[in-house]
Amino acid sequence: MSMIPSLPKLTSQEVIDKFWENRIGKNASKIAKPPSVLPKNVLTQMVGNNMPQGIVTGRPVTESYDRAVKECEIKVRQIIAECRRTNTKYCDPHFDLDDMEYCLTALSGKRDPSPPPMDHPITFEVTQRAVSAGEQISWGNVQPDQGPPEVPSSSGPACAKRVGAIFEDPKFHVKKDVHVKDLRQGAEGDCWFIASLGSLCVEERFSHLVERICPPQLRDEKVGVYGFVFHRDGEWVSEIIDDKLYLSAPDYDDCDDSRRGVWDSAHFRLDPEVSRKLYRKTFQTGSDALHFASCAHPQETWVPLLEKAFAKAHGDFEAIAGGWPGEGVEDLTGGITTEIVSADILDRDQLWTESFLNVNKEFLFGAGTRHYGSSSEDRAGGRQGIQDGHAYSVLRAVEYKGERLLMVKNPWGDTEWNGRWSDGSKEWTAEALKELDFTFGNEGIFWMPYESFLERFVEIWRARLFTEDWNVSQHWTTIQVPWSGDYNDTEFEFVLTEPTTTVIVLSQLDSRYFGGLTGQYDFNLAFRLHVAGQSDYIVRGYSSGERSAVAEVDLEPGTYRVLLQIEAFRRSWRPKIEDVVKENWLDRRDKLIRIGLSGHPDEEILGGFGAEPNPPPPPPAHDEDSDDEDGEGDDAPWNAPLVVSLRVFCHKTTATIKVIRNDAEEVTAETKLELDVDDPEKDATKVVAAGQPDEKTDDAVGTGKEVELTLQPKAA
């Protein structure tokens, strides 16, 4: 009997090597474009103007805003003329609130017959410096992102009606100037956005910030058309809506729950028509009838209409649930936010003097609390009225008789701080009330000591607002993020010709605009700034929220390098982009086109910013030991392309930016290990200091051909 020789078993090292070859391959640093969601012929015909410009050099920060307002005004005038000619109110064909599936829910990879979620979980993993490792917090009435989102039991809006049917005497603004007391958060989990909006309602240097978002020339209340502008990916964009708003209560004839029975029993003696009108006045009239955000005044409309326009700009109401107040301020002002972790503040006196005392003068502030582990019964007392996982606005900062005090706003409008200097506390005297111009009231506005503020709020967002004497330069490109999280082979370089204060921002595309098409990867951004050719870094920029890393520094004339350190995290439970397209291309065609366009066309559509410098990596060899033949889930090869930009804001001068690509083969493993973002003793520019071997720069600086521009969602 012949014996068949057995094959030699692989060693442990060979098994490990094979595993890595099949997961990240031998060409992991090669750039693969994110997928184009829509057919190219559709993109060519339908691509809009509200897209980030690939290369901007030395543009005044006001230029993009002025252009967006002008373009929006032209569109609004055309709508007004058409409506008056046809004797009809404006009906927005692109965001009809009667189509609740379109306006309330994002694209998804799997159809679910149950009610759609009203709060899209978007969380922020607090750094280990602030809280214990792995703990997460979020702002927007949502829960930490620990897996696939579950459908909540709460119901959504019941119906939509026009402003004229909801309000007896509607006015966009009841008073000449807006006030933070106007704002009330509704059923939408967007406290981050309402808190950001509250930060804009100030009375000092920036007294017209809300008016800049909704200029009076962009609306006609009789026709029912309203134009707004928001900041997105380095550009100002416009959005136009009609005047329909969501209500919590259904129409009388559609009411089939207990309210109808109770109402009929209590009003059966009335004439049916009178009873019907009284029902509508009780449940469907005034600000209290609105399902989402509202104004405190029963006849004022600017807050719910602004929130609706913000939701439309992002695709639906689900897209704006959960977020960070700092990013909200950026969206509403075009400013840049720096995150401050309370536990990491080196000098609290310096922060108070240089930052908080300049609130509403140079900066706007927001703050957030984390989720605590104690029971809900302990929260009200233990946190003294400060809510868990919630966002607040900082309105004022004063020094009064040796006390450092902050005025804070809760967007819920009811729950307040109840410690020292709270409403009715012993610290308040008649003199203090007069000096601080304050009256008690349950409006969510309260004072608290600076030290107590730093103890209760784990995150603070300081947003710098730019005046007309600031200029901005911007450059977008596409990179491949390695599994290891090493410093990237792609770098940015910029040149200054004059000394200036600079704000340096490394950003990814705002994925909130293409919900459902974001793919399975999340990214964490950081960078180091160096003088070109020198090993010591000047400053490091860390992530502030989800989409950017920021550093502010005074620089001398010269050439500077920005080294990118970006980590990617794959969430295998999320739907892949191709699955979402397959699931929605027939039943939700209009939604897919709208969100697909927001996901950005590639460089060919935007005019061809150059060819792709590296071909996509070949597919890895098949792993015979893998049970996942389709490469799904955790066994899929690593592929994390990312669209990123560098923006450099300069005071009274400009910067010129270009992209530098180093051959990956020249970056040795030993050098890679030295690129440690958290160790100042390790140098992040060994490759730069060595003379930049085989370095490739994008050609034709200033001609629009420096770099490929692939503006699509992040790939699965």
Between CA 438 and CA 396 the distance in angstroms is 12
Q: State the pLDDT at residue 93.
A: 95
Given a cut of 90, whether residue 137 has pLDDT beyond it is no
Q: Are residues 459 and 503 in the same domain?
A: no
Counting residues of the chain whose pLDDT is more than 70, the rounded percentage is 73
Confidence of residue 29 (pLDDT cuts 50, 70, 90): low
Q: State the pLDDT at residue 242.
A: 98
Q: State the pLDDT at residue 698.
A: 42
Given a cut of 50, whether residue 528 has pLDDT beyond it is yes
Between CA 321 and CA 187 the distance in angstroms is 10
Q: State the pLDDT at residue 269.
A: 77
Q: Are residues 350 and 493 in the same domain?
A: no
Between CA 412 and CA 181 the distance in angstroms is 11
Q: What angle do CA 630, 635, 641 make, to 5 degrees?
A: 95
Instruction: List Cα–Cα distances, 463 to 101, 178, 193, in angstroms.
Output: 35, 20, 14
Domain boundary at 446, 464, 482, which? 464
Q: Establish if 368 belongs to a structural domain.
A: yes
Q: State the pLDDT at residue 562.
A: 97
In this prediction, residues 199-207 reach a mean pLDDT of 68
Q: State the pLDDT at residue 663.
A: 65
Among the residue ranges 106-110, 126-130, 424-428, 535-539, the one predicted with the least confidence is 126-130
Tell me the pLDDT tens digit for each residue of 373-403.
Answer: 655 544 444 578 888 888 888 989 999 999 9
In this prediction, residues 585-590 reach a mean pLDDT of 89
Between CA 441 and CA 27 the distance in angstroms is 63
Q: Are residues 517 and 459 in the same domain?
A: no
* Beta bridge pairs of residue 393: 366, 409
| Three-class DSSP category at 330 | helix
Tokens found for residue 359: 């609130």
Q: State the pLDDT at residue 30.
A: 60
Given a cut of 50, whether residue 118 has pLDDT beyond it is no
Nearby residues of 671 by Cβ (< 8 Å), 6 or more positions away: 686, 687
Q: State the pLDDT at residue 169.
A: 96
Q: What are the two backbone dihedrals, phi and then psi, of residue 484, each rounded to the nearest 5 degrees?
A: -70, -15
Q: Are residues 605 and 496 in the same domain?
A: yes
Cα torsion 125, 129, 135, 140: sign: negative
Residue type, 226: Y
Nearby residues of 414 by Cβ (< 8 Å), 6 or more positions away: 442, 443, 444
Q: Are residues 558 and 654 in the same domain?
A: yes
Q: State the pLDDT at residue 181.
A: 84
Between CA 428 and CA 436 the distance in angstroms is 10
Residue type, 327: E
Give me the residue label for tokens 């490109």: 477
Among the residue ranges 49-53, 173-177, 708-712, the one predicted with the least confidence is 708-712
Given a cut of 90, whether residue 165 has pLDDT beyond it is yes
Q: Are residues 446 and 584 in the same domain?
A: no
Q: State the pLDDT at residue 716.
A: 35
Q: Establish if 70 belongs to a structural domain.
A: no
Q: State the pLDDT at residue 84.
A: 98
Q: State the pLDDT at residue 630.
A: 46
Tell me the pLDDT tens digit for each residue of 240-291.
Answer: 999 999 999 999 888 877 777 788 878 777 888 888 889 899 999 999 999 9
Residue 613 has a CB neighbour count (10 Å cut-off) of 16
Q: Establish if 181 belongs to a structural domain.
A: no
In this prediction, residues 541-569 reach a mean pLDDT of 93
Q: Are residues 375 and 476 in the same domain?
A: no
Give me the residue label for tokens 């184009």: 36
Given a cut of 50, whether residue 59 has pLDDT beyond it is yes
Q: Establish if 98 belongs to a structural domain.
A: no
Q: Where are the beta strands (DSSP E) in 617-662?
A: 641-651, 655-662
Q: State the pLDDT at residue 207.
A: 59
Confidence of residue 128 (pLDDT cuts 50, 70, 90): very low
Between CA 42 and CA 49 the distance in angstroms is 15
Q: State the pLDDT at residue 411.
A: 81
Among the residue ranges 68-82, 149-163, 517-531, the one predicted with the least confidence is 149-163
Nearby residues of 572 by Cβ (< 8 Å), 6 or more positions away: 520, 633, 634, 636
CB 285 within 8 A of CB 485: no
CB 532 within 8 A of CB 559: yes
Q: Are residues 681 and 669 in the same domain?
A: yes
Summary mean pLDDT of the chain: 79
Tokens found for residue 192: 């981050």
Q: Which residues of 175-212 are buried (b: 16+ CB within 10 A; e: fewer)?
A: eeebbbbbbbbbbbbbbbbbbbbbbbbbeeebeebbeb
From the list 567, 530, 525, the residue with the least C-alpha distance to 550 is: 525
For residue 483, what is the DSSP state?
T
Tokens found for residue 288: 């209290």
Q: Establish if 34 belongs to a structural domain.
A: no
Residue 42 has a CB neighbour count (10 Å cut-off) of 15
Greatest extent of the chain over all pairs of C-alpha atoms, in Å: 108
Q: Are residues 645 and 535 in the same domain?
A: yes
Between CA 705 and CA 608 the distance in angstroms is 7
For residue 424, what is the DSSP state?
T
CB 415 within 8 A of CB 376: no
The CATH number of whichever domain residue 399 belongs to comes to 3.90.70.10
Given a cut of 70, whether residue 46 has pLDDT beyond it is no
Domain boundary at 410, 442, 464, which? 464
Among the residue ranges 31-35, 275-279, 544-548, 653-657, the one predicted with the least confidence is 31-35
CB 294 within 8 A of CB 170: no
In this prediction, residues 81-91 reach a mean pLDDT of 98
Counting residues of the chain whose pLDDT is more than 90, the rounded percentage is 44
Domain boundary at 426, 446, 464, which? 464
Q: Are residues 368 and 454 in the same domain?
A: yes
Confidence of residue 553 (pLDDT cuts 50, 70, 90): very high
Q: Which residue has the higher pLDDT, 489 or 705?
A: 489
pTM for this entry: 0.81
Q: State the pLDDT at residue 529.
A: 97
From the list 312, 292, 309, 301, the residue with the least C-alpha distance to 411 is: 292
Nearby residues of 438 by Cβ (< 8 Å), 6 or more positions away: 407, 432, 447
Q: State the pLDDT at residue 611.
A: 38
In this prediction, residues 281-309 reach a mean pLDDT of 96
Q: State the pLDDT at residue 235.
A: 93
Tell me the pLDDT tens digit for each residue of 367-376.
Answer: 888 776 655 5
Q: Are residues 438 and 473 in the same domain?
A: no
Among the residue ranges 267-281, 283-297, 544-558, 663-677, the one predicted with the least confidence is 663-677
The CATH number of whichever domain residue 527 belongs to comes to 2.60.120.380
Q: Are residues 417 and 458 in the same domain?
A: yes
Confidence of residue 633 (pLDDT cuts 50, 70, 90): low
In this prediction, residues 618-630 reach a mean pLDDT of 46
CB 491 within 8 A of CB 532: no
Total domain count for the chain?
2
Q: How far from the centroid of its chain's Cα atoms is residue 397's Cα?
A: 27
Between CA 530 and CA 487 the distance in angstroms is 14
Q: State the pLDDT at residue 236.
A: 95
Q: State the pLDDT at residue 444.
A: 84
Q: State the pLDDT at residue 3.
A: 63
CB 52 within 8 A of CB 645: yes
List the domain range (segments joined by +) for residue 550.
50-56+468-616+640-697
Measured between alpha carbons, how far apart are the two ends of the chain, in Å?
53
